[in-house]
Structure 1
């Protein structure tokens, strides 16, 4: 396999990412975060955090000749956090806050990667890397498999089990929990098939079966009645049908992709 970046160049990127992780997740006291959310750009802790970000980045880089890069990291970090806080100040929705968090981290990491490429003069190397990786059908085929597991398969299972869904009481379930559990388990199973770890799939099936056994059919205030019928057996059968469909499709898809990769 072609090596595009030297050990020193790769090490620099990892050090910058470690510095970012430390400052963003381990070096912000709770009262800093609370004050930033309340006062946004007027919070002194926003500027403290930006200063700490620059200092830690410089410590990990340990090169006075790239002082301009440290200033850029510090300035852009403060700017990105200010924008996130400004948008976040207008909403308290969990979904919106999560999206802002993801966008915030993507922007921070993008800035770090761009500055790293600037430091090492690696734009041409990144171009070569993209030219080799993007057309690689092996990577694209595996990515396609993950996309299928996350999207179309869920709709197929929902369509196939629709005839029984009306008989199941889902009022005591977390919103969209089943959908996300299905996506995660299919992605995990597909990954295990990719690396030929079929034994681990058996453990996963066993673990989920045990959860169904210990799951209580009724909870206080949710007992069955004439106006709200509920059958633990029906619920278990419904979950098992969806689970086995999910597992079977993921395994078969993984086997087909592995077979295609042999050609």
Structure 2
């Protein structure tokens, strides 16, 4: 039999191959009737049942648990497919929520098969430490809380900026990624990467500002960038201090 960690990797690999190469969400896109969607979802769930049942039989030699594991993964896959709306305003959220259900089911299969639930609880308890919580809080704060703070600070000048021609919510997503990257670089003490990121953003924004020929836009972009960088670096330095003081 394979090792416990190897089994988990194999199960994840099987899910990735089945979920993203063989049965992607694209095959369930309209136009077709709901009944056809149910049939296709059942067929995909059947493939999940067969594959995961065979894996558990071959890797753990437990026929009774194997079909239960296959059934659990098949039901999880069927639900994620059949409950996925044909037209969603947030396809990213749909994808992530579906994968969360499948990965949770997969980990549950692994834990039960290895009788690792008790040991996992002990390991998770050891992981709940002040440094880890501080890092987690820092990354979470770089999303909505940071965006709200920056938007509030820039709100007096937002009416002076022409947002026509920009992608919907693109600026928000760029801000998220920017702050997460900066925080990561600061925690890793890679200040050269922070400087490179600032330079790269300045170059990408140069043509936009130059073509606009409006001083208010250049000032607004500069304010937003400096606020984003300052907030990320400040939080990163604070977390770094906490980590080093432990």
* TM-score for the superposition, normalised by structure 1: 0.81
Q: Tell me the C-alpha RMSD between the 2 structures.
A: 2.7
Question: How far apart, in 2, do the equivalents of 1:59 and 1:21 lie?
Answer: 16
CA offsets 1:81-132 (integer angstroms, 9 cap, x no match): 433344334x52331x433322221111111111111111111101111210
- Structure 1 equivalent of residue 136 of structure 2: 143
- Give yes or no for contact 2:182–2:232 (8 Å, CA) kept in 1: yes
2:167 to 160, 174, 181: 174
2:96 to 94, 102, 106: 102
1:50 to 45, 48, 56: 45
Indicate whether 1:87 and 2:83 are aligned: yes
Question: How far apart, in 1, do the equivalents of 2:87 and 2:52 lie?
Answer: 32
SS in 2 for 1:261: helix
Question: How far apart, in 1, do the equivalents of 2:43 and 2:69 lie?
Answer: 14
Indicate whether 1:127 and 2:127 are aligned: no
**Number of residue pairs matched by the alignment:** 243
Q: State how 1:1-263 maps to structure 2 within 5 Å.
A: 8-28=3-23, 32-34=27-29, 38-39=33-34, 43-57=38-52, 62-63=58-59, 65-89=61-85, 92-95=87-90, 97-134=91-128, 136-215=129-208, 231-263=213-245
Q: Using the TM superposition, give the Cα deviation of residue 180 of structure 1 relative to its aligned residue in structure 2, in angstroms.
A: 1.8
- Structure 2 equivalent of residue 227 of structure 1: none
- Give yes or no for contact 2:139–2:180 (8 Å, CA) kept in 1: yes
SS in 2 for 1:161: helix
- Give yes or no for contact 2:53–2:67 (8 Å, CA) kept in 1: no
Question: How far apart, in 2, do the equivalents of 1:144 and 1:248 lie?
Answer: 17
Q: Using the TM superposition, give the Cα deviation of residue 70 of structure 1 relative to its aligned residue in structure 2, in angstroms.
A: 4.0
Q: Using the TM superposition, give the Cα deviation of residue 201 of structure 1 relative to its aligned residue in structure 2, in angstroms.
A: 0.8
* TM-score for the superposition, normalised by structure 2: 0.86
